[in-house]
Structure 1
Amino acid sequence: MTSDPYEKLTFDQTVPRALAHRQAVGEVFVTDSAPGADGDHLVAVQVPRAHSLWFDRLVPFHDPFSTAEAARQGSFVVLHRYFGVPVGLPFSLLRWQFRVHDLAAYRDDESSPLQGVLRYRVSGKSAPVGDFGDMALSGELTIGSATAMSFSGDVVFFGREDFAALREFQIAKKPAPDPAAVAPTPLDPALVGRRDRRNVVIGDGERFPYVIDTTHPSYFDHAYDHVPGPFIVEGFRQSAVVAACRAGALDSPSAAVLGCSTTFGSFGEFGALLECSAEITGAVDGRVNVALELHQYGKRLATAGIELGPYPS
């Protein structure tokens, strides 16, 4: 019997979709998990090449954002399988960040899906108490023999009744949705490095307005009572790319996200304008740093810092 925990992992089928907080099996990127050494946990992930969102790119490299999504799903699998957090509790992501260490590991050989192994450590926060708790996760993604990405995040989960009461209180304090409001027009896909207009999530303006299509099969895989975090982060990415290109700091919108750090302070609501501001904070040797803020009802809801850079030639 082997003692290598990596050899316990398989890529033959996905985990049950509820563990990854996805409704469609095709949106589940986690295939297996196992305890690792020293109290950590290993998660196998695979991103399909034919995915309508993550294959919509203009370069022969897999999108690092796709593995950030796989890591997000993997964190839920670890918490449910190994830390006793019940499936079905509402979760909220307070902070999520990642850094790409080896962009060459993401090169698409145009014949195989991207697959790798995530290593998680859970620490620094309280263990679950009943139906409430918060935890901090950190780890790395290995693709082949390369450490491709590191990541960390803070999550909090609630009892269903507590979460419903919280959301009722929050929504009651905000203006009612305006059914006559005109939805923003999405930007040309080429401006954000995509082919498919449906995958564009921002429009044009002094601040970039979010274009919210709740029928999108990936961004809105299931029903939400608020605008989901991964959709907001994609808007941060697209806003950063457009702002950097317009400022002349980035040569092409087909740029890689080399680092991303996001902090969420409040929920974004449907039926009201969400806008993203973007400010270039540095540009050295082809790498561009952009500071971003999400606004709604005149208040800042979330912040992000994104580093963009060219793919290897």
Structure 2
Amino acid sequence: MTTSTGTDRAADTGGLLPPGVSLDFEQTVPRAIAHRRQIGEVFVADSVQRGEDDFHLSFQVPRAHSLWSDHPAGHHDPFASAEAARQAIFVLLHRHLGVPVGLPFSLQRITFRVTEPAAYRVRDGWPLQGYLHYRVADRRNRGSDVVGMVLRGEMEIGGRPAMELTAELAFMSQQDYDVFRAFQRAQKPVATAARTPHSPLDAARVGRRDPGNVVIGEAPGAAGPLLVPDPRHPALFDHEYDHMPGPAIAEGLRQAALDAACRAGALPSPRALAVGFEAAFLDFGEFEADLECTAEVGTATADGRVPVAVGLHQFGKAIVTGSVELLPEPGAPASPAHPHAHAKEF
């Protein structure tokens, strides 16, 4: 733990930090404890533990990140800060709670809600950076081993409350994980599965500028868009996986929700902030077969948030269920009619 510079303090007052605690933005934590292979994909800068179940962390997302900066200027992407929060979980587990690097564990459920969208407004010259406060709300033990944990968190950006988070984790040994995955795959027709040819959606249709960041596509006969991220994507596939990674799933569900909301006329354009997200991960997504997204648009709330119930299905079963909340970006112009406006949503 080190003291932050005066310049950083001027931009981020650190109201979440208790007296006597300082966190800096001078360098990132070691990439291994953030579960990243590339140094440039590490967003957590510093951390400190206060008490047995109390943790504070700082984070910064690069201004020119290939994925998280790929949207029209005006506001930072809340999903970018959620990725920093995901990495922060790994850091507190490995650095402060003694969980060995390499021990398999899964994120069973994650929820975040943006409490103040204005905190994400771009400030000239400043990257997306701030502080996180996590508390261990629950632990489940088997003997001396921790097998489950619930974390509750708060995020601050620019001295303003920005996001509230909850994450539920499950842990197992490498041997148990290997047996579990082998059993799971044996119950699925992966050996005879085939991927359906698809056409990626236009980048503008899902609020992106770079076509390489589009992770969903259309296929004839599919009930909804297919999750089809490029496995060479430098951010979503930073290292090797034996299943579809969570960040790629989350981005696919966000894009499916955004496209469905625009087609239903619930959003004036794809210029929208994802201000809420919830996902329960019920099973692993296998690479060998189609992964179909579903998105059902609800009625906008009084503050303008558009709720969309989302899901991911494979082999006829739901493997992820959840929701996305979208808020039209303040000041964004309405776009021309969506190519499928008012058509039946996925």
Corresponding position: 1:305 with 2:305? no
Identity of aligned residues (%): 52
The equivalent residue for 1:283 is 300
For residues 5 and 240 of structure 1, the distance between their equivalents in structure 2, rounded to whole angstroms, comes to: 41
- CA deviations 1:67-107 (Å, max 9, x no partner) are 00000100111111222211111121100010101111111
Q: Which amino acid aligns with 1:227?
A: M
Deviation at 1:287, TM superposition (A): 2.2
The equivalent residue for 2:102 is 88
Q: Which amino acid aligns with 1:81?
A: R
Deviation at 1:130, TM superposition (A): 6.2
* 3-state SS in 2 of match to 1:31: strand
Equivalent residues of 1:289, 1:305 under 8 A apart: yes
- CA deviations 1:114-171 (Å, max 9, x no partner) are 1101000012222586666211101101112201111001011221111111111111
For residues 185 and 49 of structure 1, the distance between their equivalents in structure 2, rounded to whole angstroms, comes to: 30
Query: Structure 2 vs 1, CA of residues 178 and 5 (structure 1 numbering), >3 Å: closer, same or farther?
Result: farther
Q: Which amino acid aligns with 1:193?
A: G
Q: Which runs of 5+ in 1 are unaligned?
A: none
Residue 257 (structure 1) aligned to one of 244, 263, 274: 274
Residue 189 (structure 2) aligned to one of 167, 175, 180: 175
The equivalent residue for 1:32 is 46
* 3-state SS in 1 of match to 2:249: helix
Q: Number of aligned pairs?
A: 313
* 3-state SS in 2 of match to 1:126: strand
Residue 225 (structure 1) aligned to one of 223, 228, 242: 242
Query: Structure 2 vs 1, CA of residues 183 and 98 (structure 1 numbering), >3 Å: closer, same or farther?
Result: same
- What TM-score do the two structures reach when normalised by structure 2? 0.85
Equivalent residues of 1:293, 1:304 under 8 A apart: yes
Deviation at 1:183, TM superposition (A): 3.9
Query: Structure 2 vs 1, CA of residues 5 and 48 (structure 1 numbering), >3 Å: closer, same or farther?
Result: farther
More displaced, 46-55 or 36-45? 36-45
Equivalent residues of 1:132, 1:159 under 8 A apart: no
- What TM-score do the two structures reach when normalised by structure 1? 0.94
- CA deviations 1:171-197 (Å, max 9, x no partner) are 111113558634422100000000011
Equivalent residues of 2:194, 2:289 under 8 A apart: no
The equivalent residue for 2:85 is 71
Deviation at 1:284, TM superposition (A): 3.6
Calculate the aligned-residue CA RMSD, in Å. 2.1
More displaced, 284-293 or 74-83? 284-293
Query: Structure 2 vs 1, CA of residues 80 and 133 (structure 1 numbering), >3 Å: closer, same or farther?
Result: same
Deviation at 1:230, TM superposition (A): 1.2
Residue 28 (structure 2) aligned to one of 6, 14, 32: 14
Q: Which amino acid aligns with 1:220?
A: F
More displaced, 199-208 or 156-165? 199-208
Query: Structure 2 vs 1, CA of residues 4 and 264 (structure 1 numbering), >3 Å: closer, same or farther?
Result: closer
Deviation at 1:36, TM superposition (A): 3.2
The equivalent residue for 1:51 is 65
Equivalent residues of 2:140, 2:146 under 8 A apart: no
* 3-state SS in 1 of match to 2:102: coil
Residue 267 (structure 1) aligned to one of 284, 296, 300: 284
Equivalent residues of 1:118, 1:141 under 8 A apart: yes
For residues 6 and 294 of structure 1, the distance between their equivalents in structure 2, rounded to whole angstroms, comes to: 45
Equivalent residues of 1:40, 1:122 under 8 A apart: yes
The equivalent residue for 1:213 is 230
Corresponding position: 1:114 with 2:114? no
